Amino acid sequence: MSKKQSRAATDVKTNSSDTISTAPAKPAVPGRTVGFVIMSVLTVFVAVFMQVQSRNLGNTDTSAAYTEELEGFRSDLWYLPDDELLGFVAIPAGSFTMGSNPALDRMAYENERWSRTQRQGQPLLPLYYIAKFETTRAQFAAFVADSGIAQQAIANSESLPGDLPVTQVNWPDALAYTRWLDEQLRASSDTPAELKAFLESGARVTLPNEAEWEKAARGEDGRVFPWGSLPNTNMANIASDRPLPVGSIECDECAYGLSDMSGNVWELTRSVLKDYPFSDEIDRDNLNAEQLYVMRGGSYSDQANNARAAVRGAVDPGVRNDTIGFRVVITQ
């Protein structure tokens, strides 16, 4: 193993001079008031932005909406997959192995270590549902057409197929989509009863946190990749020059039958980048203006080391990039 592989990967500069990183970050600690203000701004930004844009729909060009039929997807239900649960897969309640043990994964980075005394942890998660596929351009275009938000992600690539994963979305764009989809699923009489009941019990559509994403990617047996312990370029779109339509590569061996959890595009999460042990709690006092958010899974342009189930990428919430997309969960 080279020295480069034994430490966290170096930062990657995007075209917009923003930063994508797989290195652990230790943010400076501002005062309590500053941290609270920053967190408050992040929390309300999407909701306020959606309200403002909704008022301006009369002056908004939403012609970028995707209107064609797509095999395997329902055009009458926001282009979600045409199956019993609209493409959502139940991840059962229980614990799983999170993080990396270099004795089992020689490509492990230091920011995947659970603690100073423990290489891996065993978080306990309740039942949740995760999308089988990455969010597609057609799905996101339905949101754009209805809300007028985030048109750039669609307008810049109108000629591309609707079953490609949507990219050029930043963290607020992705979160806005999840809140919109939550509203549609609650309001529609066509929403599967199982999902409707879960939503009514207190669940919501959102981005996965780190633990939810990693359990869905690696299952409960601690595998390094979604399909097993060894890299396999036949199981994922990595080391290539473009993303593929979602589900293009069949992976029956992958945990929970999910698609593209390794490669294709990086997937945004709702977790702030911080040291393990994992916690879904937000430390408002330690947030700062340069806070990064975790993304997972690697992209088509990455090698196998960055497409492992435990790898932790991170990105500024304002970055839009051709290698970054997302998938959604329904979780309590």
Q: What's the rounded mean pLDDT across residues 10-22? A: 44
Q: How far is CA 90 from the centre of its chain?
A: 17
CA–CA gap between residue 117 and residue 99 (Å, rounded): 13
What pLDDT is recorded for position 22?
54
Nearest to 214 by CA among 329, 322, 302: 329
Report the chain's C-alpha Rg in angstroms: 19
pTM, two decimal places: 0.82
Structure confidence by residue, pLDDT tens digits, 255-314: 999 999 999 999 999 999 999 999 888 766 666 768 899 999 999 999 999 999 999 999
In the structure, what pLDDT confidence band is assigned to residue 20 with cuts at 50, 70 and 90? low
Structure confidence by residue, pLDDT tens digits, 215-271: 999 999 999 999 999 999 999 999 999 999 999 998 889 999 999 999 999 999 999
The overall average pLDDT reported for the chain is 84
What domains can you pick out in the chain, each with its CATH number?
A: 3-331 (3.90.1580.10)
Residue 328 has pLDDT above 70, yes or no: yes
Residue 193 has pLDDT above 70, yes or no: yes
